[in-house]
Each structure stands twice: as C-alpha cells, then as structure tokens.
Amino acid sequence: MKYKVVIIGGSAGSFQVVTKIISKLPKDYNIPVVLALHRLKHVRHGFVEALSIKANLPVIEPLDKENIKPGKIYLAPANYHLYVELTGTFALSTEEPVNHSRPGIDLTFATAGYAYKNKAVGVILSGANKDGALGLKKVKDYGGVTVVQDPSEAQMPTMPNAAIERTKKIDHILSADEIIKFLISLPKP
C-alpha cells in the first residue's frame, strides 16, 4: 500500500512534538503532510515561519483550491477550516468553529479520510480537548491508518485518550519517536 497523505492533528502541548516530527522528515519525503493544529484565531503570522525553521521540507499555509503536492508540509491557516476535496485540492471555509476551534481538526481529518480512503494516515497528538477524535474515527471508517500519541507520554493526554476511546481499534499507539520512525517507514508513492 502506498500512502498519499499524512494528516497530523494537535492542540495544547503538541507544538514540540510537531516540530520534532517535521524536523526528522527527510528532504525527499514525498507523502504530503497536512497539519491541523489549534492556533489563535487572530494571529495569522509567525506560526508557519516557526515551523519552517525546523523543517527540511517547505511548510505552507495553503490557499483555497491549492493542489496537494508531495514534498510539502501544509499548515491549516488561522481562522479557516481546512478541507480536503476529492479532487486532491484544499478548500477553505469560515463556517462556525468546531469544538470551539477554527481550524477544526475533526473537519480536516474527516474530509481527508473521505478523499483518500485507505491511502490516508491520521495522527493525533497531545491536546487538552476532544477535537480530532471523531475525525480520526472517520479516517478509520474510510479505511485509513490511525495513529495516536501515547497518552502516557503526551503533555496533554485528553486528546489522545478521546481519540483512542472514540475509534476503539486504533492501529498504532506510539511515542513521538516511534511516530517519526513510523512515518518515515511508510511506503511512498
């Protein structure tokens, strides 16, 4: 099985894990990575720059209808929901916040899961709420691979726990280092 998208969701306590993951992904990593991370609505600048410093791959906040391409890391922009369309493009939305968040992790996961089916890999990291749990379940329902950061290691275990509880049969519960190894070992297109 060759995978076509990796979606990573995180909230409180996930920033360090995300930077660690993206700093370890090699330059030639050619599965697109989509980051749905909770962030302040009104702070548009700085986040993508902070991630870019650590990454070997370009980190981009996609524009509406932008094509999802390998070799790139995409960050959901502030104050928009980020959807993945069947056409392999992104779509943005300003619809009401989900779980008090915009971007909402559930929405990016559910739409990416729907679009990529068994070629999607969803990863839920640390967070102090339950966003992402339902989205990860959707990824599983559509045939994708589900990964959750080990709650005993996560700075905020609420989000990983919620995801594990909701999906029931999570494929992999891993430490941050194991997540990195896992993502690097995935068969690439």
Q: Annotated active-site positions, please?
A: 11, 38, 131
> With respect to other proteins, which residue has the nearer C-beta, 1 or 86?
86
Q: How many other CB atoms are found less than 10 A from the CB of residue 49?
A: 9
Q: How far is CA 17 from CA 3, 69, 115, 152, in A?
A: 22, 23, 26, 14
What phi, psi does 153 have (nearest 5°)? -100, -30
**Of 95, 143, 177, 188, which one interacts with other proteins (CB under 8 A)?**
95
Fill in the per-residue mask, 1 to 30: x = in contact with other proteins (CB under 8 A), - = not in contact.
Answer: ------------------------------
Is 139 a residue that touches other proteins (CB under 8 A)? no
| Whether the Cβ atoms of residue 133 and residue 10 lie closer than 8 Å to each other | no
Q: Omega into 160 within 30° of 0, i.e. cis?
A: no
Fill in the per-residue mask, 57 to 86: x = in contact with other proteins (CB under 8 A), - = not in contact.
Answer: ----xxxxxx----------x-xx--xxxx
Q: What single letter denotes the amino acid at residue 79?
A: N
Is 168 a residue that touches other proteins (CB under 8 A)? no
* 118 secondary structure, DSSP code: G
Q: List the structure tokens of 106.
A: 């559930």
Is 153 a residue that touches other proteins (CB under 8 A)? no
Is 186 a residue that touches other proteins (CB under 8 A)? no
Task: Name the site residues for other proteins (rule: CB under 8 A).
Answer: 41-42, 44-45, 61-66, 77, 79-80, 83-86, 91-96, 98, 102, 104, 106-107, 110-111, 134-135, 138
